[in-house]
Structure 1
């Protein structure tokens, strides 16, 4: 089996061309090249002696370059101004002012429970921990809050304050 340094000498330019083809010229391609050879160095002792070294290295390089592309896609894009309009889906641009008002009119305990469980996706136990309450109390407050929001839409979107008037569940958190 060839020494690893010989593989770098023989196939390094090809591996760099693959990285540059996927990522373009620049430091990302060079980083992917380095990562590819680091990964290859770790796996080289287990590689069969009759393996196609160039194809093996190119495959590793291509995967490392794709990893960089995926990492780039997860980087937030800075923007000058954020949209101000509320949304029923949590996405800017969809006006649903009535729903926002209905949620805002819920009693605090219900609003917190609905937000933590339904909007943030937290289990009731975690929501209870955050609010200093019990799991059952958060479950009850969330259910009551959702019932009021459903009633709001069933009644033809009456004024949010009429539907979300305080009731016995206001003191549900202990």
Structure 2
């Protein structure tokens, strides 16, 4: 089995990795998460046994790096209010017209938020979302469906 040169992978998917890193980790950590994902991908690349779905493999690494960054931040940031530890992380998204949508996405339960971001920002299918979250495709569909239902309900309440 022959893998393409790693630079070809970077050239083809750098935008996807960066976009997902910023969506999951926020504007402050997005670049660091993307860099960490590329570093981990480079280290693991020679051990890959299949060239199938390299994009999904990269986005799974990016998701895991973002979750690691959130865990590390929670361990190192001093919190004046213990309740702030349970608040959803800020999800970075487009500014202005969609700011309220991204705020509602950030307020979703963690697993739903991750599933929605992987599905719609990462543009992954449910099999890839499931692999990234360590669940089944059926659960991925359920998480996304529940999240969308909540977002629709929130949007109707705002009208």
Q: Which category describes the TM-score, using the shorter chain as reference length?
A: 0.3 to 0.5
TM-score by length of 1: 0.42
TM-score by length of 2: 0.46
Q: Which has the larger radius of gyration?
A: 1
Structure having the higher helix fraction is 2
If asked which structure has higher relative contact order (CA below 8 Å, sep 6+), I would say 2
